[in-house]
Amino acid sequence: MSTVLQLSHFIDNAWVPAASGEQFEVYDPSTEQVIALAARGTAPDVDKAVEAARRAFPAWRDAKPRDRAALLFALANALRERAADFAHWEALNSGKPLARARREILGTARYFEFYAGAADKFYGDSIPLGGDYVDFTLREPLGVTAHIVPWNFPLNMIGRSVAPALAMGNTAVVKPAEQTPITALKLAELALELGFPAGVYNVVTGYGEEAGAPLSRHADIDGITFTGSVEVGRLIMKAAAEHIHSVVLELGGKSPIIVFEDADPAHAAAETAKAIYSNSGQVCSAGSRLLVHERLKDDVLEALVARSQTLRVGPALEDPDLGPLISREQFERVQGYVETGQQEGARVILGGTRPPERARGLFFSPTILDNVRPEMRVAQEEIFGPVLSVITFQDESEALKIANGVHYGLVAGVITNDLGRALRMARGLHAGQVFINEYFAGGEETPFGGYKQSGFGREKGWEALYNYTQVKNIAIRIR
Ligand code: NAP
Ligand code: MG
């Protein structure tokens, strides 16, 4: 990349520089080169964006749902047409492999399509109160919704929460992660081109403390959707408490993939590899703990190591199996966890640092930690890298106890051909989604969200519509 992009906020259908006049650097994690300079947003920029979203709200709310839907369908189609361009920028800016970036852009289009389809179909109820009354409910939008998103699925997560919000008649202010602002702004270009009214979709770029915090504390937002770390999730909840805003939190996990003794080791290994290495393990729902029956452990690990050794780690645009980690900070964090694991008594049986052929950069090898015990930090804390912790169990009840023995509860995988066992596990697991015999099974249609410290509220599917509406009951005495 020779030219460095100049990025502005997108507020009220206009490109606006930071009130402070300052910019911050945006990198390509595959090369650690600066690829863009973005507007460094602070409270005055956030105020402007929230004001624009507020002004836009009444007309957007009162528009015919099918007219809102038409714009959202158009956005979905435009995203599909330009998937290659969007995928290029997403891969360049986030380090994710090009083919994966493309799938995520198509997934984003699918969110806009799915929720466009819901815009004119999310009905209220009519409630029988006897002959003296007519009673019904209205599903009304919240108003101005704030969306604070992380860097691991930059545009896809915007689609996931902004599409249902807009479909239901809310307006939106988005604060992308500091690492990955580009595609949020490219989406703004599309919205502008397609004729979205001013103020419906706004983007303020910047740092969490400087732009995210004033957005989360803003008195004139009505709801906030946050995806990221537990620590920042706590701050978001505290900020929302001040003005009693509604909150959706999606805070990551330490999800188990549980392999029973009747499983096919090759299938279990393939599902485990997908669960932990996708997006270089930088996935909130990554399967980062392999819980394997002690009798099957050697077979599964043998197949998993063999498979892991075939994976290519490299620059995003070369479409490897694993791209780089997002930042030096994240690289050091992941490396630090491998060392912590070793100090705790785990054994590194694969990887553990950069691949030998990549002496520099943010590349991290597929890594397997064996002999992990459930109480170790590497079995309890989110690492957010391609690092798998392997734990054995002897029976179903022990598997369930270990699986549930963490503060998180986002998803869980179960590999078994025993239907009764699969369903007993599914019932017992503390997790918002359970995948049986295929990790990450489901899609834009299936509700997603956490138990325990993984958060609350459900995104994706029909369920998400409840986050972005409130019910008003209207009771009428007719005689
Ligand atoms: P993070 O700090 O929680 O960032 C998520 C988003 O919140 C970003 O847009 C961030 O802006 C913003 N933010 C940060 N501080 C804020 C504040 N005080 N008020 C309002 N918004 C704020 O996560 P991270 O630093 O990128 O990653 C740290 C760890 O979080 C990871 O190692 C991983 O364990 C976890 N994580 C989880 C997910 C998930 O999908 N659940 C995603 C990413 C990270 P900045 O980008 O400027 O910080
Ligand atoms: Mg942060």
- What is the band of 438 on the pLDDT scale with cuts at 50, 70, 90? very high
Tell whether 368 is covered by a domain: yes
The tokens for 464 are 């998400």
Q: For a substitution probing ligand 1, which of 27, 104, 147, 148 has the most ligand atoms within 8 Å of its CB?
A: 148
CA end-to-end span of the chain: 74
Instruction: Identify which ligand lies nearest to the alpha carbon of 26.
Output: 1
Q: How many angstroms separate the alpha carbon of residue 151 from the centre of ligand 2?
A: 10
Tell whether 450 is covered by a domain: no
Q: How many angstroms separate the alpha carbon of residue 232 from the centre of ligand 2?
A: 8
Instruction: Return the ligand 1 atom nearest residue 333 CA.
Output: 32
The answer to whether 383 touches 427, Cβ cutoff 8 Å, is: no
Active site residue 284: yes
Q: For a substitution probing ligand 1, which of 174, 229, 381 has the most ligand atoms within 8 Å of its CB?
A: 229
Closest CA to 209 of 186, 187, 228, 184: 228
Q: Whose CA is nearest to atom 29 of ligand 1?
A: 229
- φ and ψ of 114, to 5 deg: -60, -50
Is the domain of 195 the same as that of 329? no
Residue 216 belongs to a domain with what CATH number? Answer: 3.40.605.10
Distance CA 212, CA 236 (A): 9
pLDDT at 259 over 70: yes
Closest CA to 234 of 221, 252, 257: 252
Is the domain of 159 the same as that of 11? yes
Distance CA 229, CA 110 (A): 26
Tell whether 220 is covered by a domain: yes
Average pLDDT over residues 208-228: 98
Is the domain of 211 the same as that of 281? no
Tell whether 71 is covered by a domain: yes
Average pLDDT over residues 35-50: 98
Residue 277 belongs to a domain with what CATH number? Answer: 3.40.309.10
Active site residue 25: no
Is the domain of 204 the same as that of 306? no
The answer to whether 216 touches 148, Cβ cutoff 8 Å, is: yes
Q: How many angstroms separate the alpha carbon of residue 149 from the centre of ligand 1?
A: 7
At 307, is the secondary structure helix, strand, or coil?
helix
Tell whether 260 is covered by a domain: yes
Domain count, the chain: 2
Q: How many angstroms separate the alpha carbon of residue 284 from the centre of ligand 1?
A: 11
Average pLDDT over residues 326-355: 98
State the Cα torsion 41-468-87-96 to the nearest 10°.
80
Q: Whose CA is nearest to atom 26 of ligand 1?
A: 150
Tell whether 43 is covered by a domain: yes
Is the domain of 383 the same as that of 276? yes
- Spell out a b/e string for 412-445, using b for 16 or more CB atoms within 10 Å of the CB, else e: bbbbbeeeebbeebeebbbbbbbbbbebbebebe
pLDDT digits (tens, 9 = 90+) for 365-402: 999 999 999 999 999 999 999 999 999 999 999 999 99
Q: Whose CA is nearest to atom 45 of ligand 1?
A: 208
Q: What pLDDT is attached to residue 160?
A: 98
The answer to whether 36 touches 57, Cβ cutoff 8 Å, is: no
Q: What pLDDT is attached to residue 2?
A: 59
Is the domain of 269 the same as that of 189? no
pLDDT digits (tens, 9 = 90+) for 94-107: 999 999 999 999 99
Q: For a substitution probing ligand 1, which of 155, 232, 283, 325 has the most ligand atoms within 8 Å of its CB?
A: 232
Q: Which of 242-247's residues contact partners 24+ apart within 8 Å by CB, and which partners?
A: 242/217, 243/219, 245/221, 246/142, 246/222, 246/467, 246/470, 247/223, 247/456, 247/457
pLDDT digits (tens, 9 = 90+) for 108-133: 999 999 999 999 999 999 999 999 99
- In this structure, the number of other CB atoms found within 10 A of the CB of residue 82 comes to 16
Instruction: Return the ligand 1 atom nearest residue 454 CA.
Output: 41
pLDDT at 1 over 80: no
Is the domain of 174 the same as that of 321? no
Q: Which of 351-360's residues contact partners 24+ apart within 8 Å by CB, and which partners?
A: 351/308, 351/386, 351/387, 355/313, 358/313, 358/314
Average pLDDT over residues 75-101: 98
The answer to whether 139 touches 462, Cβ cutoff 8 Å, is: no
Average pLDDT over residues 318-332: 98
Is the domain of 246 the same as that of 267? no
pLDDT digits (tens, 9 = 90+) for 300-320: 999 999 999 999 999 999 999
Instruction: Return the ligand 1 atom nearest residue 239 CA.
Output: 19
Q: Whose CA is nearest to atom 11 of ligand 1?
A: 208
Tell whether 479 is covered by a domain: no
Q: What pLDDT is attached to residue 129?
A: 98
Q: What pLDDT is attached to residue 359?
A: 87
The answer to whether 96 touches 88, Cβ cutoff 8 Å, is: no
Tell whether 76 is covered by a domain: yes
Q: Which of 90, 178, 210, 250 is catalytic?
A: 250
Q: What pLDDT is attached to residue 354?
A: 96
Q: How many angstroms separate the alpha carbon of residue 216 from the centre of ligand 2?
A: 14
- What is the band of 425 on the pLDDT scale with cuts at 50, 70, 90? very high
- φ and ψ of 365, to 5 deg: -70, 155
Q: Whose CA is nearest to atom 28 of ligand 1?
A: 229
Which residue segment(s) compose the domain that 387 sits in? 255-444
Report the pocket of ligand 1 as residue ranges, CB < 6 Å: 148-152, 175, 177-178, 207-209, 212-213, 216, 227-229, 232, 235, 250-252, 284, 333, 382, 384
The answer to whether 149 touches 459, Cβ cutoff 8 Å, is: no
Is the domain of 19 the same as that of 147? yes
Instruction: Return the ligand 1 atom nearest residue 176 CA.
Output: 9
Q: What pLDDT is attached to residue 429?
A: 98
Q: How many angstroms separate the alpha carbon of residue 330 from the centre of ligand 2?
A: 10
The answer to whether 227 touches 148, Cβ cutoff 8 Å, is: yes
The tokens for 476 are 């009428």
Average pLDDT over residues 346-353: 98
The answer to whether 35 touches 27, Cβ cutoff 8 Å, is: yes
pLDDT at 410 over 80: yes
Tell me the whole-structure pTM to 2 decimals: 0.97
Is the domain of 247 the same as that of 259? no
- φ and ψ of 305, to 5 deg: -65, -45
Is the domain of 360 the same as that of 470? no
- In this structure, the number of other CB atoms found within 10 A of the CB of residue 266 comes to 15
Residue pointed to by tokens 């992941």: 334
At 389, is the secondary structure helix, strand, or coil?
strand
Q: How many angstroms separate the alpha carbon of residue 148 from the centre of ligand 1?
A: 9
Is the domain of 294 the same as that of 220? no
Instruction: Identify which ligand lies nearest to the alpha carbon of 337.
Output: 1
